[in-house]
Amino acid sequence: MATSAQPAVISLNGITKVFYTDEVETHALAGIHLEILAGEFVAIGGPSGCGKSTLLSILGLLDTATAGEYILNNQPVVNLNLGERSRIRNREIGFIFQSFNLIGDLSVYENVELPLTYRGMPSSERKQRCQEALERVGMAHRARHLPSQLSGGQQQRVAVARALVGKPAILLADEPTGNLDSKNGDAVMDLLHELHEAGATICMVTHDPRFSRYADRTVHLFDGQIVDESQAQEQAATVSGH
């Protein structure tokens, strides 16, 4: 669990995002201020359309803010070119998506290996990293299988291994349990909890209050603004009270 003595991996100051379509302005985010510390697990909650996924896309350098400052690992991202943003996504950020986003004609091992291939990493090092990542999520025995031969829960475990293999500074998870039944959803959340306990920094978008309790704190969005924050103790009490 993070403490205030640890550095901020992510710092957002006044982040605003406006989408322009047919002369209509849609304000997706309005003046977001947020810090995520090294080793912290932060959940982002709120109703559909409140800006959760937009915020995560900006954090993951998949989108850019209209205004405001984003500092990632002490580096302002505003002046990064496309190549630099791509390099940071490959090396410093691990992504876990609701729909798994595995490549169907690649084996489990090849899916996990792919981010390392883009780095030009030697084969022997890639093999060791992939083996470690798959063992960590309990999927080493399925390394040669195709995604279509796996259950949804197993596919999401592979997706977690792919996110971990590059040893990123932060894991970004967008509704990681959204396409899973409750049993598999709980299993994936237990896995994220284990990674957090081992020191991983995690930022997760979720609409399910049950899963927010795994986080150190939850940031609540509404109409593109942070309207509330709750700590782990408060969340546990809220969940147990229902």
208 occurs within a structural domain? yes
Number of structural domains (the chain) is 1
pLDDT tens digits for range 209-218? 888 889 999 9
CA distance 207 to 232: 16
2 occurs within a structural domain? no
Its pTM stands at 0.87
Residue 162, pLDDT > 70, answer yes
**Bridge partners (DSSP) listed for residue 26:** 19
Phi, psi of 202 (to 5 degrees): -130, 135
- Residue 59's pLDDT is 95
> Residues near 235 by Cβ (< 8 Å), separated by ≥ 6?
209, 212, 213, 215, 218
Residue 4, pLDDT > 70, answer no
CATH classification of the domain holding 236: 3.40.50.300
User: 58 and 64 in contact (C-beta within 8 Å)?
Assistant: yes
1 occurs within a structural domain? no
39 occurs within a structural domain? yes
> Residues near 122 by Cβ (< 8 Å), separated by ≥ 6?
none
H-assigned helices in the chain: 52-59, 82-92, 108-119, 123-136, 152-164, 182-197, 209-212, 232-240
Residue 235, pLDDT > 80, answer no
Mean pLDDT of 103-126: 93
CA distance 9 to 16: 20
209 occurs within a structural domain? yes
Structural domain containing residue 214: 8-240
Residue with tokens 């580096």: 75
3 occurs within a structural domain? no
